[in-house]
Every structure is written in structure tokens, then in C-alpha cells.
Structure 1
Amino acid sequence: MAPFARPGIEYKTREQMTRMAEAGRVTSAALDAAVAAAGIGVSTGEIDAAAAAVIRAAGATSNFLGYHGYPATLCISVNQQVVHGIPGEHRLAGGDLVSIDGGAIVDGWHGDSARTLVVGAADPADVELSRVTEEALWAGVAAFATATRVGDIGAAIDDRVTDLAGERFGILEDYVGHGIGTAMHQPPDVLNYRARDRGAKVRPGMCLAIEPMLVAGGLETTVLEDGWTVVTVDGARAAHWEHSVARHEDGIWVLTASDGGAARLAAYGVTPVAP
């Protein structure tokens, strides 16, 4: 996504966050179905169809399908594809590193989440890339619980990547997280790295999609001729993890996690509180 200007942050009531949690629940279920469908010989289009069926059965709609003309329910990015890969006839092979990104709209409220998995026999380097990306995500989510500025989230992500991987993996700077609510992409930007500008002030009612993207090589990317698929220029593999998270007066709640993030946040001393 392209960066947003800082003005225009949408703050939600707790009742509105509860409605967003339903969009998050459908989003999580759709990604569950997509991950379950992924396998050797399965096409990315078939994975997309599995998620679409879950969203449709819930009476929800996809917030990706038709977004600026995007033609699918999910973004499915394979190997050197970082983000925004278009599902289609491509069939997965053993060892593929696959990032699946999707969202749902329920009663006008949006959810957005992403996961990375390895199909079949995994290269340990790919497993580690995905693991570090996911851990960095949870470090950022935990930081949101006490952050005074949105930039505190990016600093926590940056520090966690360094702690776990040193300089082995790079954090993409051109693609960042965002606010979420009555639209999928809203202000403020949520950087995945430490920056001099600490960003917008965190206030109760803020809902953010936090989504680090890491690469195993150089940071330079390009967009393919389809106008969507972002790939690493050097062909290095990439991983992408994302959750939508709400902050209210009593804490945070991970809207796209079935337990609100409790299991993963425990390691950070954070107990999520439902809105």
C-alpha cells in the first residue's frame, strides 16, 4: 500500500470494535480455510476459492475483491513474491514459501490478516524467515498495548528482528501497516522499522493492521506487469504476517485472532482484553 498522510485517523467506540471483531473472526476463518487448502499441486486459484466460500457462507464480503480493480479474494504471494500476488492457475510445488493475505467486511467494518507457510518439505532458512517475521509481528502487537506513538510499534518490530536474526533478514520499508475500520486502508501509517518520526499519538479507539514483511536478501522490489504483484529484484524469498488490532481504554484485542492474541502475547506479559 502507498503511505497515507497523518490526518484523518478514525477512532472507534468499544461497540464498534466489537463489530470489527466479527469481521476479524470471518477473516481468520477464511485464512484457516486457505491454509488448509494449500498443498503440493494445488493452484493458488483453488486456495482463493476456499477462502471465498467461507466469507460468502458467513454473509460477509471480501474487501480485496474489486479493491482498485483487484480481481481476487486473497493475495497469494509465492517465494520471491512479497505481497499482492494474484491467485490463478499457478500450482504450488514442494518447498514453496507462500504468503496468504485477505480480509472480510461485516456490516461495513473491515478485518485484514496475513500468514506465511511452507508447502511440503521445508528449507530451514524459509522456516526461519517466516518464524522471525511472525515473532516480529507479535512484538509489534505487544508494543501497541503500551505505545504512546505509533512509531513505538515499528521500533519494537525492528528490535525483535535484530534480536532474532541480526542482519540476516531485511525489513521492507516501502510497504507498511495501516489504520483499519470503515475502510481497509486508513491513516495512520504503521512502519515496521525504527524511524526519527515517531508517528501519530496512540489513543484509545485506534485500530491498526500491523504487518511486517521480511526478505532474505536485498530490499529492492519491483511490480510485475500485472500491476499488482510485488517481487524482490534479486529473487530472494519473502515472508508476511499481519493482524488487525484494537486498542481501547483497558488494553488491546487482536481482532483477527480467535483468542484475541492471548496465547502469543503471554510471552510479552500482555493480557488482551475484549472490547
Structure 2
Amino acid sequence: MSNIFTDTLAWIADPAHWTGRSGIPVRLLEHLEYSGLVLVIAAAIAIPLGLYIGHTGRGRVVAVGVAGALRALPTLGLLVLFALIAGSGLTPPVWALVILTVPPLLAGTYAGISSVDRDVVDAARAMGMTELQVLFDVELPNGLQVMFGGIRTAVLQIIATVSVVAYLPLGGLGRYLFDGLVLQDFPRMLAGSLLIAGLAIAVDLVLAGVQRLLLSPGLSPETPGGRKATTDLTAVAPAPAAVQGGNT
């Protein structure tokens, strides 16, 4: 058993596998390109819908049901289905992966918005803020931590499942898995798995750093419920007319 790990490390360290069109850097960039494309399309669909559902509360039951049903769909089955419908190329795997990426993004977005303390939201409305101001100046900053958790989950899922695009066949790190399976080259397969896992860990660490930068200083995980809604409403909404008159 130890030989396969030794052979895998030797395969990764081989300079021949770091050059050319099938080298690790090229496959890594392809993997990131596919993942980024899927994430952008899925986010364009899921985030606006999640903001609407979280803010208004409308369609939440339907969204939960649909998201649960989509998560149960098999990735490879969807890939084959879209390939039969749309033919070869990048479109079938992208749309198959988009369908599987929308649920965690949607769930994370509306959960983040709906998790904001209703007293804070009511206070914002009482101060005369419009619904868009309430959403983007109060709910979004306070719900960003939960939302970002959904984004991180979706990104990790994309990186792991985008490997299936090599089944059609296309590029990416999944190429090492499918080529290794055909050739019975198990060190190549294990190397591909380790590279995908390493990429997922590296991207998650980057996202964790971005999350800390984006998190409002007024939010604290030490408070009850794991968040602290402390948005300064006086900074984002005009003072009431009566107060303004009293200060003049």
C-alpha cells in the first residue's frame, strides 16, 4: 500500500508533469476557469432570488423544496442528460453544475437575510428607510456572515464536482482521474485527487480571509446566536424631521 503513495509523490514531483498542454499548471487553470464560470452564472441566478426571498419572506417554502430536490440530483446523470440534449462542448457540464450550485447559494443568501434581528429591521423602517435601503444598508451587512458561509460551501462543491467535465472529455484536474482510470494508472488518479483536494483547501483559506475582511466590525460571533446586529441606523438613514427641528 505504501508503494502507491510513493509512486504518487514521484508522479507529482516529475518535471514532465508540470509542462505542456496536459501539465498540472494548465489543468489547474482550466479547473479554476470552469469553477469560476459556474460560480458566476449560479450567483447571478441564486443571489438576487435569495435576497428577495429573505427580505420579503415570499416563496420560502417553495425555495426550500426546490433547493432540496436539486441537491438530490446526481451530478453525472445531469451531465449525461445535458450532453445528450446539447451535444458536446462546455455548455452541458456548465449548466449541470449550475443547477447543483444554485441550492447552497440560494439557501445561504435567504438564510443570511432572514437571520437579521427583526427589531433592527423594524427600527430601520420606522426611521423612514426605503425597502431597498433596509435590504442593502441593514439586512445585507448584518447577514453577510451567514451568506458568505453559503458561498464558501458552493465554491467547495464546485471545485470538487467540476472534475466530471473531463468525462465528456474536457480539461481540468479531473482529466487525471479519468485518464488514470482508463490506463489503470492509480498513482495518476491519486495525484489528481490530491491536487483537487489541495486546490479546494487553498481556495477555502482565501475565502476565509476575504470573509474576515468583509465582515462588519459591528458583527461579533461571541454574541448569542452567533451574530450581533449593531448597524448604526443613524448613519444610513436621515434623522426624523422632529429631531432635526429640535437641533436647530
Q: Which has the higher strand share?
A: 1
Return the index of the structure with the highest Cα Rg.
2
TM range (shorter): 0.3 to 0.5
Q: Which has the higher helix share?
A: 2
TM-score of the superposed pair, with normalisation by structure 2: 0.32
